[in-house]
């Protein structure tokens, strides 16, 4: 099942989990519409035709939802009965820490073991360096910013570009580095607009025609920076909020391969009798972590990325 915000890489993970579990002699099922589907019995045997042709598709063909009902015991009991009547005794959830927490409560109630696969473009799940969908989102952002740069140069404008990421600035930081932006504002770093202004004035004096500023949505600085450019540098400035275009797109090769590796690890974890582990990718290797280490942990962006971005906020 997939749950929470959609991200490219979910479909390859679904396909691999289905195909690999069948190769291990299991009978796989799929749950449509996430937690709501567990309650409303939107469960179907995963015959090969269901996952055929989904590898290249963005989002999740299973659908997703955020179900308030699942937080009530009576509805979780209904979900459990729906699994019981089909003989389903293991779950794989592809999503974020909220989805993992919901399935952990489900395990505590009824003892149904699960394995979690991290999937969110925000890349903010504690304990893992990578979540499915991040590379595809970064490539969507990179493509958009490259296009914006063309018109910025043509009209000698400044552009403020807001990326998603909730309270995590990972997408903004990596995108700023990858596109050569002059400014990057994220929740993880302090910034000095006076120093930035002085730096950009010198660049204009040396012939700089345009500027790109990448701001993370968690800073709430998009509109302010647009006014700041106009007031401080007397430049024609535009704000572009990329929005949900970042969630879409055909999964990149990297996301497809990562999806396969996560899915295989999840199935193997359950077959080995592990109950409520999250698959993680750290320091170039795959591992498993107990749910509490993930939900209780605090995510931190790679310090090397932060260090590289620091000059862009001063």
Residues that are catalytic: 122
Spatial strand order in the sheet of 183-185: 183-185, 211-216, 158-163, 237-241
Beta bridge partners of 31: 43
| Whole-number Å distance between alpha carbons of 281 and 63 | 25
For 35, 37, 87, 114, 250, the CA distances from 78, given in Å and listed in that order, are 12, 11, 14, 18, 35
Exposed e or buried b per residue across 149-174, where buried means at least 16 C-beta atoms within 10 angstroms of its C-beta: beebeeeebbbbbbbbbbebbbbbbb
Give the distance between the most distant pair of CA atoms in the chain.
73
Per DSSP, the residues of 174-198 read HHHHHHT-SEEE-TTS---HHHHHH
DSSP β-bridge partners for residue 28: none
Q: What is the C-alpha to C-alpha distance for residues 133 and 89, in angstroms, rounded to an integer? A: 28
In the block, residue with structure tokens 């389903």: 88
């Amino acid at each position: 099942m997939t749950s929470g915000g959609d991200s490219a890489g979910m479909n390859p993970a679904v396909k691999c989990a289905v195909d690999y579990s069948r190769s291990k002699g299991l009978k796989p099922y799929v749950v449509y519409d996430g937690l709501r589907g567990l309650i409303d019995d939107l469960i179907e045997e995963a015959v090969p035709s269901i996952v055929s042709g989904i590898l290249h598709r963005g989002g999740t063909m299973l659908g997703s939802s955020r179900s308030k009902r699942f937080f009530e015991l009576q509805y979780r009991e209904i979900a459990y009965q729906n699994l019981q009547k089909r003989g389903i005794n293991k779950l794989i959830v592809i999503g974020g820490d909220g989805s993992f927490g919901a399935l952990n409560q489900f395990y505590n109630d009824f003892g149904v073991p699960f394995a979690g696969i991290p999937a969110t473009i925000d890349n903010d799940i504690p304990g893992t360096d990578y979540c499915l969908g991040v590379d595809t989102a970064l490539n969507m952002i990179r493509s958009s910013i490259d296009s914006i740069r063309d018109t910025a140069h043509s009209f000698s404008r400044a552009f403020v570009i807001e990326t998603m990421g909730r309270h995590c600035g990972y997408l903004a930081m990596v995108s700023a580095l990858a596109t050569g932006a002059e400014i990057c504002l994220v929740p993880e770093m302090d910034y000095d607009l006076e120093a930035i202004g002085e730096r950009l004035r010198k660049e204009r004096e040396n012939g700089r025609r345009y500027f790109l500023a990448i701001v993370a949505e968690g800073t709430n600085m998009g509109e302010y920076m647009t006014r700041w450019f106009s007031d401080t540098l007397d430049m024609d400035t535009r704000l572009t909020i990329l929005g949900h275009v970042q969630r879409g797109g055909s999964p990149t090769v990297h996301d497809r391969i990562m999806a396969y590796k996560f899915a295989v690890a999840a199935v193997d974890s359950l077959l080995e009798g592990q109950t409520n582990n999250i698959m993680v990718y750290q320091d170039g290797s795959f591992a498993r972590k107990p749910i509490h280490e993930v939900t209780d942990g605090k995510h931190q962006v790679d310090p090397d990325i932060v260090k590289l971005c620091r000059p862009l906020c001063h």
